[in-house]
Amino acid sequence: MINSQKSLETLQQMEDKYHSIFENKVVGIYQTTLEGCYISANATLAHIYGYDSSTEMIAALADIKHQLYVNSQRREEFAEILREKGEVSEFESQIYRKDGTIIWITENAWVVRDERENLLYYEGFVEDITRRKQTEAALQEIQERQRLLIESVQDYAIFMLDSDGYVVSWNSGAERIYKYQSEQVIGKHLSIFYTQKDIKNNLPEQELKIAREQGKFMIENICLRQDKTQFWANVITTALYDENQELHGFSQVTRDITESKQAIAIQTGLIATIQASEKKFRDLYEHTQDAVLFINERGFIDCNSAALKLFGCTNKLDLCGKQPWEFSPLKQPEEEYSSIIFQGYLEIALHRGISRFNWRYKRLDGSEFPAEVFLSSMKFDGRSGWQAVVLDISHRVLAQETLKQANEELEKRVKKRTVELQEVVERLQKEISERQQVEAKLRLSEEKFSKAFRCSPDPIGITTFEDGRFIEVNDGFLEIMGYCREEIIGLTAEELNIWLYPEQRIRFRQNLQQQGVVQNQEYEFRVKSGAIRVWLLSAEIIDLGNQLCVLSIIRDITERKRAEEALRESKRKLATLMSNLPGMAYRFRNDLHRSVEFVSDGCYLLTGYQAKDFLGSQKVFLSQLIHREDRQRLWNAIRFAVQENKHYQVVYRITTKNQRIKWVWEQGVGVFSELGELIALEGF
């Protein structure tokens, strides 16, 4: 009876521990029947779905497939994967909240079975990824606008040079002006555009030198086309520096001004520099500890030093030109051919943008190793390709195998002990029956806690409250920190130098001591590699075996922070580009007044009005500036181009603020909604 009492106390402690994690988890946790009804859910899941409590949510959602999922077929696919594989990771879907709004979620789930392997129910985690999806969509839209703006420029040759003056990019305007196709000119020195006299006078090198020292160089000079014919050109060369003031190359903008010279009606104007839309990542690419490789239809085309080391290669020639499955065993552990499986993952990444999977690789010396592969699709010179990041997970697999063997050994011991106890069943029948019931509940509670702890996608750690010494961490914690288990257990965060700012740790401990719980506090931490990561930290004081401990749950938001920073940077670059374009860039609503949604600062030099004059309640309509005799011709040209879904180019007169008449040239294009409705006009 004393043993039964101790077992009951242990059971109560485990139940309290599980309940604490279940209710305070920063992600939604649930259990559902096989038919699609909720058995249980925590408050976080109810909050994500827009309900006041889990009880209200469970009562309201009697049919998950049709009430919750925007596309009910996604629930069928979700259940099918669980039935076939027993678990599903990062399954993304759109769902309806209580108020009818649609959000994005990602699910991690697994199947719970009884002792006879019969399916009982599903368990899993839900995370709201709507903000991440919106950020990714906004960044993609800005980058696409930048690309369309450059591609739409037909009257200017816009191309990039490396730091030595060799051509690395070529737009359609450059093809029209210089008569070179991109494959004929990329890799050539810019001196091919200059006369022998200019080359003898070292003009190309002087231009780059002045641009490098002063930031920009502008000249009107005679240039050569591919057929050696000459033309007058206005050329602007701009040095491109990164935020560390390191030179990454030059941009060159060329405009053919031959006709203006011949007609002695030259229009003076400066073509602003188009800054590079993305910073080069070569330094990061070469020095990261992760193996990074680039792939096209012919196989590997480039890799960093970490990839060479991982695959046991001495130089890039050992890798480049070979297919990924050539560095794999003939068949993967599932007995399927490596070439067929890998090509399938390439197709998934090509259509979905990213693919993540585990793989068995073979080094150059024939040794094999397990890896986790992240495939993402990208473009190389307009052609489809992929970037692969390969992580060696040998230590993780070994740890999983060790854990599996330990569990098997534990099960054997439990079975042996059960056999020994059965020998005294007759005289202790009642006591053993009660004990077995207690032990069954205890095992179930421990299993729930163990699964929640081990299978959580978020890193979880348990430390003593007194001195902050680690006593338990899950695989997610080890993976994000870069340590192995032996390097963490028994040490403190201070000894590991994890906190970037120690004073934040002191304030965190004070808040935890005063309130007992800390929710979603943002801190910066240092991992084993020395890299700085941004985490959301939630923690709670718990009692484990009469010892006060701290249960900490971490969410890595570094990539989200970087994505937000990249979005801000892209907006800043777009604003810089717009403010430096000659003339006026705009976005109009499709109405007779040409109501302005956006206009660049160049409008002042063109019209005499500031950008703010076209916005607000006292705004000036651009339609008022168009010369009365040219208005109908302008409307007809725009309407015809929009109907044909083409760019329009129109020359007409405007009346400036000081009543001057100016001839202007306008180029634009219609912007359509997904339903094909014209919503705006954009151009300059």
pLDDT in tens, 271-292: 333 344 455 567 777 778 889 9
pLDDT of residue 589: 81
Mean pLDDT, the chain, as a whole number? 84
Q: How many helices (H) and strands (E) does the chain have?
A: 23, 24
CB neighbours (10 Å) of residue 531? Answer: 12
Q: 458-462, 475-479, 575-579: which has the minimum mean pLDDT?
A: 575-579
**596 vs 445, more confident:** 596
Q: Do 550 and 544 meet the contact criterion of CB atoms below 8 Å apart? A: no
CB neighbours (10 Å) of residue 456? Answer: 21
Task: Evaluate if residue 55 carries a pLDDT over 90.
Answer: yes
Q: Do 522 and 503 meet the contact criterion of CB atoms below 8 Å apart? A: no
- Residue 337 has what DSSP assignment? B
Cα 464 from Cα 425, distance rounded (Å): 41
Note the CATH architecture for domain 424-560. Answer: 2-Layer Sandwich (3.30)
Tell me the mean pLDDT in the region 310-329.
90
| 16-128 has CATH 3.30.465.10 classification | no
What are 390's strand-pairing partners?
291, 373
**594 vs 376, more confident:** 376
CATH T-level assignment (fold) for domain 153-263: Beta-Lactamase (3.30.450)
Cα 156 from Cα 273, distance rounded (Å): 12
Q: What percent of the chain has pLDDT over 90?
A: 33
- Residue 25 has what DSSP assignment? -
Q: What is the dihedral of CA 475, 479, 484, 490, to 10 degrees?
A: -70
pLDDT of residue 155: 74
**26 vs 680, more confident:** 680
Tell me the mean pLDDT in the region 313-341.
90
Q: Which candidate, 130, 126, 171, 128, places its Cα nearest to that of 148?
A: 171
Q: Which candidate, 168, 171, 163, places its Cα nearest to that of 146?
A: 171
The per-residue pLDDT for range 380-430, each reduced to its tens digit, is: 878 889 999 999 988 888 888 888 888 888 888 888 888 887 777 777 777
Cα 424 from Cα 415, distance rounded (Å): 15
Domain with CATH 3.30.450.20 in the chain: 16-128, 153-263, 282-392, 424-560, 583-683
| 583-683 has CATH 1.25.40.10 classification | no
Q: 55-64, 74-83, 439-448, 558-567: which has the minimum mean pLDDT?
A: 439-448
State the sign of the Cα–Cα–Cα–Cα dihedral 559, 561, 562, 566. Answer: positive
Pairing of strands 678-683, 470-473: unpaired
Tell me the mean pLDDT in the region 238-261.
88
The per-residue pLDDT for range 163-198, each reduced to its tens digit, is: 899 999 999 888 889 989 989 899 999 889 999 999
Q: Answer whether 0.85 is exceeded by the pTM.
A: no
Assigned superfamily of 282-392: PAS domain (3.30.450.20)
Q: Do 465 and 550 meet the contact criterion of CB atoms below 8 Å apart? A: yes
Q: Which candidate, 486, 480, 479, 311, places its Cα nearest to that of 397?
A: 479
Tell me the mean pLDDT in the region 227-253.
89
| Distance between start and end Cα atoms, the chain | 87
Reduced to 3 states (helix: H, G, I; strand: E, B; else coil), residue 152 is: helix
pLDDT of residue 558: 85
